[in-house]
């Protein structure tokens, strides 16, 4: 996978981590109580794997679990947090996902914080992905995100792992199909971009269809997702069972932000629905209007739109239209006039 990421354009597009999930470890720790890899899956050891991934210009991520066991039954970290933190640093780990199976949710705030402290003490920069909220919420415990971020300087997981079903996607959107077909894949990329969610691929890059590869590497969508403002999109308008989300992005022009606009249909009536809205309805107020670009359809020429001018789009059932709105400059407007 590292070879494919570096040679097939994924690294250039911005994907930089290769992360191994559960089931990489041996069922037993070594004589020094350190985690060790399964000798058949990783005969050369994790450090050799990490070094190879780094040699490709990529970063290396690994999975562990705060509880007594991982979700698949491999050794957990709860009694070995400091040892495991140092082990991961010694292996050259750049990203740690710490799951929460087989653990007491009441101890998670302290325990996840403790692991974060031990990771910091290693001196190695490691992205720390905490699954703590995914286990607290079902128990009615509201995670203290501000405290978590202040203590850990990282990001957390606020939902369960999802399958490629539309109902799971709409459940996530409520928070802020067994076969994944092309239109749904386009929708997912647009949604993750608007939500500023980490883009994680779970796919065999050796056999991926070029159509899906091109979507994953769409530079305009990735630019929305990775915009330096780092602001998550918000639901600002619902019309005719269609949600419109906006996400402020760069560039800033004459004091106004640009925006990504995601138009998400919840309709199931079997045909593309013609929707109209104005930028004013979305709280976009730049006096000189905006240039609107359709991110997914390059055949549509970008167009200048006044803030009170109707915009028409056609949205497929359970589909998405993804636009960007860039403020027009007063100088350019005067030249056109």
| Crossing angle of the two packed helices 108-121 and 81-90, in degrees rounded to 10 | 40
Supply the Cα-derived Rg of the chain in whole angstroms.
Answer: 23
Tokens of 68: 């007594």
State whether residue 148 is helix, strand or coil: helix
State whether residue 301 is helix, strand or coil: coil
Q: Which of 335, 233, 316, 219 is nearest to 275 (CA)?
A: 316
Backbone φ and ψ for 287, nearest 5 degrees, come out as -60, -30
d(CA 251, CA 256): 9
> Please, is 39 exposed, middle or buried when counting C-beta atoms within 10 Å of its C-beta (0-12, 13-18, 19+)?
exposed
CB 172, CB 159: distance < 8 Å: yes
Catalytic residues: 99, 161
d(CA 250, CA 118): 36
Cis amide bond preceding 47, omega within 30: no
d(CA 246, CA 211): 27
């Amino acid at each position: 996978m590292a070879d494919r990421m570096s040679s097939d354009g994924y690294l250039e597009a911005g994907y930089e981590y290769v992360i191994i999930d559960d089931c990489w470890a041996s069922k037993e720790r070594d004589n020094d109580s350190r985690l060790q890899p399964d000798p058949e899956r990783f005969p050369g050891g994790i450090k050799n794997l990490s070094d190879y991934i780094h040699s490709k210009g990529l970063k290396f991520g690994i999975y562990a679990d705060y509880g007594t066991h991982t979700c698949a039954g491999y050794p957990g970290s709860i009694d070995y947090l400091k040892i495991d933190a140092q082990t991961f640093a010694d292996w050259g780990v750049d990203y740690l996902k710490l799951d929460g199976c087989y653990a007491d949710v009441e101890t998670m705030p302290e325990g996840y914080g403790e692991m974060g402290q031990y990771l910091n003490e290693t001196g190695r920069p490691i992205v720390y992905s905490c699954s703590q909220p995914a286990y607290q919420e079902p128990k009615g415990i509201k995670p203290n995100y501000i405290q978590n971020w202040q203590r850990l300087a990282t990001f957390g997981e606020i939902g369960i792992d999802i399958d490629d079903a539309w109902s799971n996607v709409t459940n996530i959107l409520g928070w802020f199909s067994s076969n994944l077909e092309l239109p749904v894949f386009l929708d997912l990329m647009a949604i993750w971009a608007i939500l500023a969610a980490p883009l994680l691929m779970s796919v065999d890059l050796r056999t991926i269809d070029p159509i899906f590869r091109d979507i994953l590497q769409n530079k305009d969508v990735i630019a929305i997702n990775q915009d330096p403002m780092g602001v998550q999109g918000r639901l600002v308008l619902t019309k005719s069972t269609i949600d419109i989300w906006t996400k402020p992005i760069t560039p800033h022009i004459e004091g106004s932000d640009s925006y990504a606009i995601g138009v998400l249909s919840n309709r199931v009536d079997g045909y593309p629905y013609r929707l109209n809205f104005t930028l004013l309805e979305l709280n976009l107020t730049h006096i000189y209007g905006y240039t609107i670009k359709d991110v997914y359809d390059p055949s549509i020429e970008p167009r200048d739109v006044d803030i009170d001018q109707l915009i028409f789009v056609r949205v497929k059932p359970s589909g998405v239209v993804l636009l960007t709105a860039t403020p027009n400059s007063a100088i350019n407007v005067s030249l056109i006039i």
